[in-house]
Structure 1
Amino acid sequence: MELKEAQKIVDHWIKEHGVRYFSELTNMAILTEEVGELARVIARQYGDQSVKEGEKMNLAEEMADVLWVLICLANQTGVDLTTAFQQSLMKKTNRDKYRHKNNPKLKR
Structure 2
Amino acid sequence: MHISELQRVLAERYLEKDGQMGELFLLAVLMEEVGELSKAMRYHEGVAEEMADVMFVCLCLANLLDIDVEAQLIDRYVKRSFEDVSSTWEDVSWK
If the length of structure 2 is used for normalisation, what is the TM-score? 0.79
* Corresponding residue number in structure 2 for 1:84: 72
- Superposed, 1:1-108 pairs within 5 Å as 1-14=1-14, 20-21=17-18, 22-45=21-44, 57-89=45-77, 90-93=79-82, 95-96=84-85, 106=94
**Identity %, equivalent residues:** 30
CA 94–32 in structure 1, closer or farther in 2 if over 3 Å, else same: same
* 1:67-96, Cα deviation, whole Å (9 max, x unpaired): 000001100111101110001112353515
Task: Give the count of matched residue pairs.
Answer: 86
If the length of structure 1 is used for normalisation, what is the TM-score? 0.70
List runs of 5+ in structure 1 lacking aligned partners. Answer: 46-56, 100-104
Q: SS at the partner of 1:79?
A: coil
Moved over 6 A (4+): none
Aligned residues of 2:76 and 2:85 also touching (Cα < 8 A): no
CA 92–40 in structure 1, closer or farther in 2 if over 3 Å, else same: farther
Structure with the greater alpha carbon radius of gyration: 1
Structure with higher helix content:
2
